[in-house]
């Protein structure tokens, strides 16, 4: 417990002094953790032998997830700040304040009630606007970091975007409602990333499955081209043997 409090104080101090760097490092590490869990889970599901090449850990893939999380997290921090100011959950409007000894007014002892319409607006804005953008950025950035062609990235969008967005809407509205309602602003992106370890597990496995399909398609196309070139190379020899007869 003491270690957790010390870590929380250190994070708060780092966030107060360097918010973007703090969010970037925390987001990158938690995203990388999600891919680590995904790769271990994939190997377990496949039942790969630890000594086999198929079960070899892909550090480059985890690094890609780190880069994505580190890049996106400061932007998400600004987005949370915008939602905080645009849809405030607490309002002192209409709340009677008692005078203090100096003749001024002090806030009531009990905090004002939470505005659930404002909370619903935060969640709706996040899920209808930011969620699709996040998935678009994930698919596109992963495709580019993997060295995919433009046509392959378009294929990834066609195959992954709809399924990922529907899965997002099944999971994240409730998580974001808890996040916006109870979690202080500096901790909202890390809270998202902690909850998102399982979400990253899903995205990682979804992206890995699509990569395998694309790689198989590329290998199939290359084999067809190789067979065609081989037939074309053999065709003149066949023609010459007929003329000789």
User: What confidence tens digit (pLDDT) does each residue in 133-175 have?
Assistant: 999 999 999 999 999 999 999 998 998 899 889 989 988 999 9
CA distances from 231 to 42, 225, 241 (A): 40, 10, 15
- The better pLDDT of the pair 83, 93 is held by 83
pLDDT score of 10 more than 80: yes
pLDDT of residue 75: 95
- The better pLDDT of the pair 233, 5 is held by 5
Instruction: Provide, rounded to the nearest whole percent, the portion of the chain with pLDDT above 90.
Output: 43
pLDDT score of 29 more than 60: yes
39 within 8 A of 204, measured Cβ to Cβ = yes
pLDDT of residue 216: 63
pLDDT score of 93 more than 60: no
CA-based torsion, 50, 54, 55, 59: positive or negative: positive
190 band by pLDDT with thresholds 50, 70 and 90: confident
Report the distance separating Cα 179 and Cα 173, nearest Å: 10
- The better pLDDT of the pair 56, 82 is held by 82
pLDDT of residue 211: 60
Domain residue limits, the chain:
2-90+111-230
- The better pLDDT of the pair 198, 110 is held by 198
55 band by pLDDT with thresholds 50, 70 and 90: low
Is the model's pTM score more than 0.85? Answer: no
pLDDT of residue 219: 62
The mean pLDDT value of the chain amounts to 81
pLDDT of residue 63: 96
146 within 8 A of 64, measured Cβ to Cβ = yes
């Amino acid at each position: 417990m003491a270690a957790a409090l010390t870590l929380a104080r250190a994070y708060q101090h780092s966030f107060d002094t360097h918010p973007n760097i703090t969010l970037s490092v925390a987001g990158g590490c938690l995203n990388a953790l999600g891919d680590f869990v995904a790769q271990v889970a994939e190997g377990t599901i496949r039942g790969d032998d630890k000594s086999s090449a198929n079960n070899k850990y892909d550090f480059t893939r985890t690094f890609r997830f780190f880069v994505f999380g580190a890049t996106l997290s400061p932007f998400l921090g600004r987005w949370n700040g915008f939602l905080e100011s645009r849809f405030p959950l607490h309002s002192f409007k209409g709340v009677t304040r008692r005078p203090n000894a100096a003749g001024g007014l002090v806030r009531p002892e009990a905090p004002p009630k939470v505005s659930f319409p404002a909370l619903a607006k935060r969640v709706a804005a996040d899920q209808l606007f930011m969620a699709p953008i996040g998935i678009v950025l994930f698919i596109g950035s992963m495709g580019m970091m993997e060295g995919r062609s433009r046509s392959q990235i378009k294929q990834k969008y066609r195959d992954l975007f709809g399924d990922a967005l529907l899965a997002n809407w099944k999971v994240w509205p409730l998580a974001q409602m808890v996040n916006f309602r109870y979690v202080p602003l500096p901790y909202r992106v890390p809270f998202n990333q902690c909850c998102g370890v399982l979400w990253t597990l899903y995205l990682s496995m979804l992206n890995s499955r699509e990569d395998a399909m694309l790689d198989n398609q590329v290998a199939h196309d290359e084999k067809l081209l190789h067979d065609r070139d081989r037939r074309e190379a053999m065709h003149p020899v066949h023609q010459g043997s007929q003329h000789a007869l």
